[in-house]
Amino acid sequence: MGKKVNPRVFRLGMSEKWRSRWFSGRDFAKFLEQDISIRKFINKELHEAAIDKVEIERSRGEIKINITAAKPGLIIGRGGAGIEELKKKISKNFLDKNTKLAINITEVSVPGLSANVILESIKEDLEKRIPYRRVMKQNIDKVMKAGGKGVKILVSGRLNGADIARREKLTEGKIPLQTIRANIDYTRGVARTMYGAIGVKVWIYKGEYFDKKLKEEKKARVPQKSVKLFSKEKLEFQPVGKPAPKAKK
């Protein structure tokens, strides 16, 4: 039997970082539950902004939420009104009165290489009753044009309103799931259609993780001038114990 492992969890410490960064002894279960509920709330409340990831950092009496989205303008709003409203909702529903909250929003550099952004696009199209094959092909083309080296999309459920649920998969390029140095972005979600729920999974291969490190090291290196180690005269090797012959004048 094949044992499926989440590609993101499989690469923690290599190309992936922990999405929650904090330490706690007694309140571990409480903080973990808070993180999960905050993420669900943000993804539901701001699904139109095409959120890539939500990172949470904690320190004493303070929590910092870093949101990366393809459309940050929808979150910020006019004069930052959207952020203030989001802060009020999160602090009211999930946090204590003494906990300080800070929200930072950044834009996705390449939306076509974000699995979550592609997932949201697929979900919206499927809920609009667009044929699933056309949706899958369009998003695969989008990823490959953005510079992806491979992509796999899998949908399962009552596709196009069929009576029997089935699973369909389309791939392009390569997806090396067993290679830890491969930088693979993975996500999954559910599209709520009038025929029922359709599960969607997306894998995107961005290249090897060590390629970035090598490029950074090459840039950091300073070019050195070549130095001549030997003279033009030929080097002659003599056996041990015998004196070397005198050079001719």
| Confidence at residue 125, expressed as pLDDT on a 0 to 100 scale | 93
Q: Find the distance separating the first CA and the last CA of the chain, reported in whole Å.
A: 82
The two three-digit tokens of residue 236, written as one number:
């002659």
For residue 76, which amino acid is it? I
Residue ranges and CATH numbers for the domains of the chain are 7-107 (3.30.300.20), 111-212 (3.30.1140.32)
Measure the CA–CA gap between 247 and 198, rounded to whole angstroms.
88
Q: How many CA atoms lie within 13 A of 40 on its CB side?
A: 8
| Confidence at residue 234, expressed as pLDDT on a 0 to 100 scale | 47
Q: Is the dihedral of CA 73, 77, 81, 84 positive or negative?
A: negative
Q: How far is CA 228 from the centre of its chain?
A: 48
Q: pLDDT tens per residue, the chain (249 residues)?
A: 567 788 888 888 877 889 999 998 888 999 999 999 999 999 989 888 889 999 999 988 899 999 999 988 889 888 888 899 999 999 999 988 888 999 999 999 899 999 999 999 999 999 999 999 999 999 999 999 999 999 999 999 999 889 999 999 999 999 998 888 899 999 999 999 999 999 999 999 999 887 655 566 666 655 554 444 444 444 454 555 555 556 555
Q: How far is CA 238 from the centre of its chain?
A: 62
Measure the CA–CA gap between 185 and 16, rounded to whole angstroms.
9
57 contacts 64 by C-beta, under 8 angstroms? yes
Measure the CA–CA gap between 10 and 176, rounded to whole angstroms.
12
75 contacts 67 by C-beta, under 8 angstroms? yes
